[in-house]
Amino acid sequence: WDASGSVGPAQLAQVEALLAADPNTPTIVALHYGLLRYDGRSDRPLHGLSDAPQLLELLDRSPARIILVLHGHMHRAFTVATAKRTIVCAGSAIDLRTDAGYFIYEIDLETLAVRAERRAWNRREQRYERTDTEVITRAIAERRGVLV
């Protein structure tokens, strides 16, 4: 079973051009596939982006004001830091075998501070509920990894 993907040379060039076009504007990069796993390692070949290292290198060397890099595809929520960027995996909102949930982000455009609120599925109550938001917010601010 192959759930992998790629950005490809043409889209990598487009991403680089878009980020360079207005490097002072606060930017969020969002994509489906994860660039790294929660432990900082590359994803499995049949699950991740085949050119994730190239995209990571492009994002880390870009002069753009990238506030966050957001992705899904992996079912457990986490943060991980690269040389210059903070990556947040949203996790799955519907895979009830994991801690299903979603994030709500608040970004102060003057300070670029990010506050992330996690809503997790409560199996007993059959609804999404607010969880501890400080763990993820601190991890983003301190640019460190955390498994939510």
Mean of pLDDT values over 99-111: 90
- Local confidence band at 146 (pLDDT 50, 70, 90 cut-offs): confident
Backbone angles phi, psi at 145, to 5 degrees: -85, 150
- Tokens 């763990």 belong to 135
Given this model, what pLDDT does residue 17 score?
97
Given this model, what pLDDT does residue 148 score?
76
Tokens of 110: 């003057």
- Local confidence band at 39 (pLDDT 50, 70, 90 cut-offs): very high
Cβ burial 109-121 (10 Å sphere, 16+ → b, else e): eeeeebebebbbb
Mean pLDDT of the chain: 91
Global pTM value: 0.88
Tokens of 84: 């210059």
pLDDT reading at 96 higher than 80: no
- Tokens 């607010």 belong to 130
Mean of pLDDT values over 7-29: 96
pLDDT reading at 58 higher than 90: yes
pLDDT reading at 139 higher than 90: no
pLDDT reading at 134 higher than 90: no
